[in-house]
């Protein structure tokens, strides 16, 4: 059994460079369901790491250009169309992350 993580995170790597082939059904334990849960967890960790890197980049670029003031993002309320679009994106995200259980 391979108990090592498939990749090592590099916070200085550009977000666009965080790509690669998914490992073929990595085996961490003797229980296939536990391995699937590990797969979901690793998918979530990867998605969140990329999202955080991209968000940090975007916030820094907007602040540097004076487009975004500190605290503006926290007080933003989306309109109905944006909220619907977010809901659809969230559904797609959950399907992608939870496919390891399928």
Domains of the chain, by residue range, sit at 26-69
pLDDT at 64 over 80: yes
Confidence of residue 11 (pLDDT cuts 50, 70, 90): low
Q: Which residues contact 100 (CB under 8 A, 6 or more apart)?
A: 36, 37, 39, 40, 43
| Percent of the chain predicted with pLDDT > 90 | 33
End-to-end C-alpha distance for the chain, whole angstroms: 22
| CA distances (Å), origin 1, targets 8, 17, 25, 42, 100 | 19, 29, 12, 17, 19
pTM, 2 dp = 0.53
């Amino acid at each position: 059994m391979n108990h090592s993580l498939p990749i090592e995170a590099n916070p200085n790597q550009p977000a666009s460079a965080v790509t690669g082939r998914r490992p073929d059904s990595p085996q961490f334990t003797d229980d296939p369901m536990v391995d699937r849960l590990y797969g979901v967890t690793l998918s979530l960790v990867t998605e969140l790491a990329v999202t955080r890197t991209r968000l940090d980049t975007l916030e820094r670029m907007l602040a540097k250009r004076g487009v975004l003031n500190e605290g503006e993002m926290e007080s933003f309320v989306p309109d109905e169309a944006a909220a619907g679009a977010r809901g659809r994106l969230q559904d797609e995200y959950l399907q992608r992350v939870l496919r390891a259980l399928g």
